Chain A
Amino acid sequence: MKTLKIKDYVFLAIISALYMVIYFITAFSSSVLGPFGHNISPGVFGLVGGTIIYFVAKKLGKMWQFTLLTIIIMGLFTLMGGGYLPWWICSILTAFLADLIVSRSSDFTVWKLALAFAIMQVGQTGGSLIPVMFFVDSYRQEWISRGQSPEFMDASIAVSQGGYALLTILIVFTLSFIGIYLGHFILRKHFDNQNM
């Protein structure tokens, strides 16, 4: 198993800068679709960012690559005032899982990487789904006590709950899964000529 060296830290740091810029663009575009758009934004990013992840897996292919990348990215979010504990926990746990699935050797199969990345992105979604799922009653009560109508609250909670939550996870999973295949399609030929 290859270990991460200082050069790999630098590489992942620069990649995470590119990741952040693209993340903000995609998150902004999908939040136009309202609360549901916000919930599926990790999937919209996944569709585009799969290429970045494919590149990392091809170039680096080392254990803990995705965990480290996620820690750097969550560190950046925290510095920007967006650190949120449930989000941290979900993201890092799923990145850890992704590493276990795909990073143990630099030779990976595309579907495994797609699976790993899809799990990572579902983890990102967890950050926005969990508070609604676990604190749903107090959440609903709180807004109603502020004067929102119960009907509206039920409707807006619905997009993060039950069937909608499942749908969100399914969409995020699928888009991210496709994202890796897009990356494979885009970069495959580039890596054919890498060792010449």
Chain B
Amino acid sequence: MNTKINALVLIFINLIIPFSAMFAHNIFVTFFLFLFSAVLLLRFGKIRRFLKYSIAFLALGMIYYLLLHFRIPHTDVFAMSFFILFHFIPLMMIASLLFYDYGPSEILSTLQLLKLNRKFTIALTIALRYIPTFQAEFKIMKSSMAMRGIAFSWKRPLQSFSYFITPQLFRCSLLAEELTAAGITKGIEYHGVRTSIYNIKWKKSDSFWLISFLLGFITIILWGGHL
């Protein structure tokens, strides 16, 4: 029995949050988002993560308030950055669930519920699979250059960049060919409906989470923060 909240709920909420910055001009929206994300974290049993983010949220809020309250000169720009970070905490809380508690394959399987183009879903899977690979390879590239006596140097930026990027680009097209070959034998070109090992279905509880989020969110925006 799959009791996990459908990742689509979290993805949807994370799509809504950046919009709140545009339309919601009251701080209670941020408080609501924080509370909702906190409940979600607790629902997943992530108590330590809940505490960590709560402390960060409160601390950032306090610093912002104090900076503005005491009108310390030349701190305006910091105050603004603190407020933006403060605002981002709920987003980070939900993103942390998506990243640590769902694998990329699981999230992509969820996206299949949206009936996205199959080739596009597979392309996203591959991109996610290779991001860590390239991160790791940057280090190898640097040492390979050093060994050939063409170490990366800021004195010759163009030449260094050229040696750094060229092998990686050609490697991309080589990898694409090999990966496509493996993929065709694994049916990436097949046209039927794709299934998923993660047994992803939209459950009643998912509707509950989404509806309560939307109700709360819309109520607060309509109310507009007038006490």
Residues of A within 8 A of B (CB): 6-7, 9-18, 20-21, 34, 48, 51-52, 55, 59, 68, 71-72, 75-76, 78-85, 131, 135, 138, 141-143, 145-149, 152, 156, 182, 185-187, 190
Contact = CB atoms under 8 A, between A and B. Distances in A.
A80 B95 contact: yes
A13 B123 contact: yes
Interface residues of B, number: 58
B18 A79 contact: no
A6 B25 contact: no
Given A6-B119, A81-B95, A147-B69, A14 B188 contact: no
B176 A7 contact: yes
A52 B124 contact: no
B173 interface: yes
Given A131-B22, A152-B76, A6 B15 contact: no
A49 B17 CA distance: 30
Nearest to A194: B170
Contacts, number: 139
A68 B117 CA distance: 12
18 contacts: A6-B180, A6-B189, A10-B126, A13-B127, A15-B172, A16-B123, A17-B128, A17-B131, A18-B130, A34-B77, A59-B173, A68-B123, A72-B123, A79-B104, A81-B92, A148-B76, A186-B162, A187-B166
Contacts of B169: 18, 51-52, 55, 187
The B interface, classified by DSSP as helix, strand, loop or mixed, is helix
A79 B98 contact: yes
A10 B179 contact: yes
Nearest to A143: B80
A14 B91 contact: no
A11 B127 contact: no
Contacts of B154: none
B124 A76 contact: yes
Nearest to A86: B22
A79 B126 contact: no
